[in-house]
Amino acid sequence: MKNRKFVNSDIEPKKNGIHHTNGYRSSENIIKSKLTNEHQDNNVATDKYKSIHDSKESFEEAPLITACLTYFGFYLLMIIGYINQLFFEPKVATEKNRDGYVPLFDSFERFYLRYVYRRVKDCWNRPICSCPADTLVLKDRITPDFGWSFEFTGTTTKCLNLGSYNYLGFAQTSGPCAEDSIKSIEKYGIATCNARRELGTNALHIELEELTAKFFGVEDAIVFGMGFATNALNLPSLLSPGCLVVSDEKNHASIILGLRLSGATIKVYKHNNVKHMEKVIVDSIAYGQKNGKPWKKILIILEGVFSMEGSIVKLPQIVEIKKKYGAYIYLDEAHSIGATGSHGRGVTDFYGVDPKDIDILMGTFTKSFGSAGGYIAGSKSLINFLRANSHAHCYASSMAPAVTQQILTSMKIIMGLDGTNEGKKRIDQLARNTRYFRKRLAQIGVITYGHEDSPVVPMLVYLFSKIGAVVRTLTTRNIAVVGAGFPATPIMEGRIRFCLSAAHSKDQLDYALSVIDEIGDKLGLKYSRKPKDPNPIEY
Amino acid sequence: MDTFKKILAGVYLQYEIIFCMGYLEPWERRLINTIVFCSIFLMIFSAYVFLPDYLSNLMELFKSHDSNSGFQPMS
Ligand SMILES: Cc1ncc(COP(=O)(O)O)c(C=O)c1O
């Protein structure tokens, strides 16, 4: 019966004489009818994941008054900025004797940087002078002219570090990782001074690629010296004009840059919304390319743990969709590798998805491994293709030996190949810290985004002025955090992003939480209207 | 007295946050403060001057409404 209904609606456009669209229309309807039928069969499996994981993820709405005040504050700053720009010469170098030249910089960007961002510049670009472990040392600085310039006072402040992506606490100045790295410098020197394809490959790179493949349980892997370049330079070699990319709206800048470079058609779906993604795919398949041809290939691109939202991708449902439509998945595990899953193998481990179902596993060594660089893991043929075609492989200088050794040693520790259970301990510690910190924050009554198990914890403060107020106040209380506001987030959603680490102890977290509780009352950060857990949270 | 002071400090802090005082230079702060206080003053002033008249007019309207049991336009 159902199918007949679709056939009827198929015929209708023909009556109206819309011939050129009707071929695609009908195929769309056929797909849709297939979809509704198949959906009912799949629902049981999907619902299981949904019910478990949807309840763990939270995105609470802001009160209306806060939204109004946020916009009010922002426009106020803009207006004052324009008044400033109108009447005063900026206190920075201005170009002179340059008649006939057009300005080098985009005017709005320049305005925003000079007259809005400048006022809070002391909360960003803060120089540190120590290892970014559980604590770090900030160099104190003062600004005599409201952010135009900074002077070092020569003193330093030791702060609790809630900002570095040191998820498993491998950023250390001592211990096996540091010792091994020093040994590798003695053997290989600091840099390789060449690209991988020429004289830049040494035994460490080969070993790292083999170990990475083993770590994920896939056939092969390739490593690059920089995580950002891994995305930005490999995507163009995989995609070309005529390919369809279905991309999450909160994807990282490196992914977006790579996609733009590739020239593929980009369709964006709502953040972590599987239904919308499926709709985008179905519509795109139905309509095809602009010239009417079918897509060359379809790539779904997403991150494991989203770095600004703290949400974990709904991988099992997406794998189902991928299989249904014959799309490929490119999974960026920059923040999830090491930090999620009981073995630290990222979101595939977290959900128990077969890593071979993910066609392209990308990630960075910058976060959990306390090092630098990126990898792509997958099938042998994919990696061989990249070895031949990737710009990052052919032209970029290869990974430095000490950096490579740091990854090797930390990865071995995570896998337990060093003969201890140190890696397991760190993963468990991180998981405990994450749960505890998130639950306590919920109890305090601030709004946090994201999944219960994600170590990235964005705390929403909304107002642009509160970002600066919180960062400054926390710095005076010896806690270093990272704030994020427009343009990194929507204007409405200014936030403080805490990154937890296995290196933090309960006492440190308790101290941070007590300070957050206190300033939450003072500055008014307790927006949450959810019921609070009256019982004390167990660590 | 102490609690009163605390409340006042809290209100002032919220005012500072809403008007982004922490980000502004002294002269900008003075500008905004002047604008805000001028408008509040004007509001209070106009309320003081005009509100009694308006209110008594309104009262009149209701009174006449009551006594005549029918709507009577004011004349
Ligand atoms: C999702 C994602 N991809 C890639 C990168 C870039 O990695 P790297 O810092 O190693 O260059 C980041 C860094 O923040 C990221 O969050």
Confidence band, pLDDT 50/70/90 cuts, at residue A229: very high
Residues with CB under 6 A from ligand 1: A 226-228, 231, 252, 254, 303, 307, 332, 334-335, 364, 366, 374
* B50 falls within a domain: yes
- The DSSP-derived string for A188-224 is H-S---SBTTTT---HHHHHHHHHHHHHHTSSEEEEE
Give CA–CA dist A171/A67, Å, rounded. 39
With CB atoms and an 8 Å threshold, state whether B19 touches A80: no
What lies within 8 Å, CB to CB, of A323 at 6+ separation is A357
State which residues form the domain around B44. 25-60
Cβ contacts of B18 on chain A, cutoff 8 Å: 69, 72-73, 463, 465
Work out the burial of residue B69: count CB atoms within 10 Å of its CB; fewer than 13 is exposed, 13-18 middle, 19 or more buried. exposed
Q: What is the ipTM of this complex?
A: 0.78
* B6 falls within a domain: no
Give CA–CA dist B7/B32, Å, rounded. 22
* B33 falls within a domain: yes
Confidence band, pLDDT 50/70/90 cuts, at residue A100: confident
* Domain count along chain B: 1
With CB atoms and an 8 Å threshold, state whether A80 touches B28: yes
| Contact assessment for residue A437 and residue A498, using Cβ atoms and an 8 Å cutoff | yes
* B16 falls within a domain: no
pLDDT 10s digits, A417-449? 989 999 999 999 999 999 999 999 999 999 999
* B10 falls within a domain: no
What lies within 8 Å, CB to CB, of A218 at 6+ separation is A355, A356, A361, A377, A378, A379
Q: Can you give the pTM of this predicted structure?
A: 0.85
Residue A302 Cα to ligand 1 middle (Å):
13
Give CA–CA dist B25/A420, Å, rounded. 57
Of the candidates A222, A219, A348, A325, the one whose C-alpha atom is nearest the C-alpha of residue A279 is A325
Take atom 5 of ligand 1 and give the residue whose Cα is closest. A228
Residue A50 has pLDDT above 60, yes or no: no
Give CA–CA dist A497/A504, Å, rounded. 16
Residue A104: the pLDDT is: 72
* B56 falls within a domain: yes
Query: Distance from B25 to chain A by nearest Cα, in Å?
Result: 7
pLDDT 10s digits, A358-401? 999 999 999 999 999 999 999 999 999 999 999 999 999 999 99
Percent of chain A residues topping a pLDDT of 90: 71
Q: HEC string of A284-329? A: HHHHCCCCCCCCCCEEEEEECECCCCCCECCHHHHHHHHHHHCCEE
With CB atoms and an 8 Å threshold, state whether A469 touches B17: yes
* B35 falls within a domain: yes
State the DSSP H helix or E strand holding residue A402, giving kind and residue range, or none if neither: helix A401-415
* B2 falls within a domain: no
